[in-house]
Amino acid sequence: MTFTENSTLGELLSNETTVKIMEKHLPGISTNPMASMGKSFTLKQLSAIPQANISAEILSAIVSDLLNITTADGDPTSPQQNIQNESPQEPLTINDSVAIVTGAGGGIGRASSLKLSQAGFKIVAVDFNTVTGEETVNMIRAQGGKGLFIQADVSKEEDVERFTKSAIDTYGRIDVFFNNAGILQKFSLLEDLDASEFDRIMNVNVRGVFLGLKKVLKVMNAQGYGSIINTASTAGLRAEHSMAAYTASKHAVIGLTKAAAIEYVRKGIRVNAICPGGVDTALTQAVPMMMQESGYTPEEFPNMRIGRFAEPTEIAEMVVFLATEKSSYVTGSIITVDGGLTL
């Protein structure tokens, strides 16, 4: 087999010798995600595309090197089976995979921990609440899964550092990060919203999500793979009456999701956000009590058009989808799971 300027990029990147030649003239070409899109282009065709940055001189140097490698039997080298498989971006099988879940002691976090465990992930369950967090890990073990509990406050940098390090020290890797812990504000009109309540919500819902992204992205970037799911809310897409701080915090989660997704889109890391509507968890069960305590009722409530709240497991199904390679082309997406609330 001979290689010329009419050989396709796919052919040139599936052979050890030609890969070396391509890398010599175009460093990084064999691992560049753009290259997989151009595999059916010939070298000559590629050189005509300005973004490919293959000048006439480089083209001629590559072709000259290629012409020199043909052996007597016409089979220059042993084929390189599939360079994608050797890429550091290829995660191991799901049974070796590790997921960190924050807010794992409660509704959506617990349901997602159990579903991710059923899908084969080892779970690092993080929660502020030791009792409920340990309960979740016991439930994981009872269904035959593996996991450990780390008590942490997601708004404290040293705690976030600690649970990230624990995941690596124990399991050696982080495949999935479900950045989920969050709290609901006390209902009030904006003019009556205490600055301290605003800060409390922002501290957990925004600073907590930011710190998790910051620490885990560093690990995933070094690994070359990972999937992150942030829990926003339909309040990240529209305003919720009497919940200005919560609404602002969830809009910020969506901003952070997009910012992270764009920075890591070519580094093997996907970052998405889910937007649940009303879910039957401790967070929503506390609403009547909150209204009773404050003596204040919002003028409007969200309309779950489907006619009921979601079960936490119905949100967890989306988390598992985003965690696994089934969603390999999904990144930067803001996905509603809201029973038609935002229609």
Task: Strand 176-179: give its sheet, edge to edge.
Answer: 147-151, 122-127, 98-102, 176-179, 226-231, 269-276, 334-337
When the beta carbons of 89 and 333 are compared against ligand NAD, the nearer one is 333
Element (H, E) at 275: strand 269-276
Least Å distance, CB 199 to ligand NAD, is 13
When the beta carbons of 99 and 181 are compared against ligand NAD, the nearer one is 181
CB-CB contact of 250 with 233 (8 Å): yes
Which span (64-72, 140-148, 177-185, 256-264) binds ligand NAD, by CB under 6 A?
177-185
By CB under 6 A, is residue 290 in contact with ligand NAD? no
Q: Does the annotation count 296 as an active-site position?
A: no
When the beta carbons of 7 and 247 are compared against ligand NAD, the nearer one is 247
> Given CA atoms 91, 95, 98, 100 in this order, what sign does their dihedral have?
positive
By CB under 6 A, is residue 76 in contact with ligand NAD? no
- Selected from 204, 206, 216, 269, the binder of ligand NAD by CB under 6 A is 204
When the beta carbons of 91 and 182 are compared against ligand NAD, the nearer one is 182
CB-CB contact of 246 with 185 (8 Å): yes
Written as one string, the DSSP assignment of 204-237 is: IIIIIHHHHHHHHHHHHHHHT-EEEEEE--GGGT
What's the one-letter identity of residue 192? D
In three-state secondary structure terms, 31 is: coil
Least Å distance, CB 18 to ligand NAD, is 50
- Of 232, 239, 231, 233, nearest to 301 by C-alpha is 239
* CA-based end-to-end distance of the chain: 58
When the beta carbons of 76 and 277 are compared against ligand NAD, the nearer one is 277
Q: How far is CA 31 from CA 25, 26, 44, 51, 89, in A?
A: 14, 11, 20, 16, 9
Query: Residues 231-260 vs ligand NAD: string with x where CB under 6 A?
Result: x-x---------------------------
- Rounded to whole angstroms, the Cα distance separating 175 from 168 reads 11
With CB under 6 A, what is the number of residues at the site for ligand NAD? 30
- Strand-pair partners of 230: 179, 273
Least Å distance, CB 165 to ligand NAD, is 16
- Selected from 15, 18, 113, 180, the binder of ligand NAD by CB under 6 A is 180
By CB under 6 A, is residue 109 in contact with ligand NAD? yes
Least Å distance, CB 322 to ligand NAD, is 14
Crossing angle (nearest 10°) for helices 107-118 and 312-323: 50
Least Å distance, CB 100 to ligand NAD, is 12
By CB under 6 A, is residue 201 in contact with ligand NAD? no
Least Å distance, CB 253 to ligand NAD, is 8
Distance of CA 238 to the CA centre of its chain: 23
Site residues for ligand NAD, 268-287, by CB under 6 A, read 276, 278-279, 281-284
- Rounded to whole angstroms, the Cα distance separating 341 from 188 reads 22
Longest Cα–Cα distance in the chain: 90
Catalytic residue among 171, 225, 246, 264: 246
- Selected from 208, 226, 268, 339, the binder of ligand NAD by CB under 6 A is 208
Least Å distance, CB 164 to ligand NAD, is 14
**Which residues form the interface with ligand NAD (CB under 6 A)?**
102-103, 105-109, 127-129, 132, 152-155, 180-183, 204, 208, 231, 233, 276, 278-279, 281-284
Active site residues per annotation: 246
